[in-house]
Amino acid sequence: MKVVSAGLTDVGRKRNHNEDSFLIDDALQLYVVADGMGGHAGGGTASRIAVETIDKELRRARESRDNPFVTIPNLQDALLPDALRTAVEKACLAIFTTAQEDPRLAGMGTTVISLVVRDNHAFFAHVGDSRAYLIRGPLIQQISEDHSLVNEQIKAGMITPEEAKHSRYKNIITRSVGFEEEVQVDVMGLVVEPEDVFLLCSDGLANMVEDHELQEAVLTAPRFEDIPQRLIDLANERGGDDNITVIVVRASA
């Protein structure tokens, strides 16, 4: 699969600094959004370490004897999910170790949503509440599952999805990269169809814009590269409560 991509980050309207980081590595077809937490220094440091480490580890893996980027015809036999998981785990350790060495960074961590497109497969590794969406024609589907308190409450039947949108606990995540030495990483894979669009974003977008509005912005943008700015503008119009980061990736045969 050939891909085109575009990404952008914005501080939003309520914060005075941006703790999000993102990565576009078209050579690897690797894309990452990380939403840091832990204060001005900590959050930005954690998200930056995450994207840099994931990129470095996957580049190193590509040069190794067990190259996970080799063409594999069957999704279930692919090596990339394990490579992605390992890269996020190493990012977790790097962030945790850095925080141990500098008291100003104590308690920092970050979400991670990452995507690799290889041949006709897409692979994701995910921790936290940053999201991955698939837009396929008239359909939009959230690929990742939020590791958040309100999502746990929804699954337990304690609150409805509508109530979750207005919960004062909506920003509390139950898993993060770097807060502890180790983390459980969710990995997923799917078969890509031509003209699929993948959207990766921090919760600064997902909490402000409905899924159908994300889809509409993607499908109606005059130019593909305009999509991130359109979505950021929409989130800011709704209040811009948080940092906003967006990557879009479109596949073609």
Which tens digit of pLDDT belongs to each residue from 167-187?
888 888 999 999 999 999 999
**SS3 track for the chain:** CEEEEEEEEECCCCCCCCCEEEEEECCCCEEEEEEEECHHHHHHHHHHHHHHHHHHHHHHHHCCCCCCCCCCCCHHHCCHHHHHHHHHHHHHHHHHHHHHHCHHHCCCEECEEEEEEECCEEEEEEECCCEEEEEECCEEEECCCCCEHHHHHHHCCCCCHHHHHCCCCCCCECCCECCCCCCCCEEEEEECCCCCEEEEECHHHHCCCCHHHHHHHHHHCCCHHHHHHHHHHHHHHCCCCCCEEEEEEEEEC
Categorize the per-residue pLDDT at 39 as very low, low, confident or very high, splitting at 50, 70 and 90. confident
Categorize the per-residue pLDDT at 88 as very low, low, confident or very high, splitting at 50, 70 and 90. very high
The mean per-residue pLDDT over the stretch 158-166 comes to: 88
Classify burial at 23, counting beta carbons within 10 Å of its beta carbon; exposed 0-12, middle 13-18, buried 19 or more: buried
Categorize the per-residue pLDDT at 21 as very low, low, confident or very high, splitting at 50, 70 and 90. very high
Instruction: Count how many domains the chain has.
Output: 1
Instruction: Specify the higher pLDDT residue, 164 or 57.
Output: 57
Give the per-residue pLDDT at 188: 96
pLDDT digits (tens, 9 = 90+) for 6-20: 999 999 999 999 999
Give the per-residue pLDDT at 152: 92
Q: What is the mean pLDDT of the chain?
A: 95
pLDDT greater than 80 at residue 154:
yes
Give the per-residue pLDDT at 17: 93
Categorize the per-residue pLDDT at 74 as very low, low, confident or very high, splitting at 50, 70 and 90. confident
Q: Identify the residue whose tokens are 């959050």.
A: 43
CB 206 within 8 A of CB 243: no
Give the per-residue pLDDT at 171: 82
CB 151 within 8 A of CB 145: yes
CB 18 within 8 A of CB 243: yes
* 198-223 CB burial, b ≥16 within 10 A, e <16: bbbbbbbbbbbbeeeebbbbbeebee
Residue 138: which domain range?
2-252
CATH label of the domain that carries residue 198 = 3.60.40.10
pLDDT greater than 80 at residue 242:
yes
CB 212 within 8 A of CB 236: no
Q: What radius of gyration, in Å, describes the C-alpha atoms of the chain?
A: 17
pTM score of the predicted model? 0.95
pLDDT digits (tens, 9 = 90+) for 196-208: 999 999 999 999 9
pLDDT greater than 90 at residue 166:
no
How far from chain centre, in Å, is Cα 80? Answer: 17
129/136 Cα distance (integer angstroms)? 22
Give the per-residue pLDDT at 71: 86
The mean per-residue pLDDT over the stretch 34-56 comes to: 93
CB 162 within 8 A of CB 91: no
The mean per-residue pLDDT over the stretch 106-129 comes to: 96
Instruction: Specify the higher pLDDT residue, 49 or 137.
Output: 49
Give the per-residue pLDDT at 253: 80
Name the pairing type of β-strands 112-118 and 121-127: antiparallel
185/176 Cα distance (integer angstroms)? 9
Q: Identify the residue whose tokens are 């999910």.
A: 81
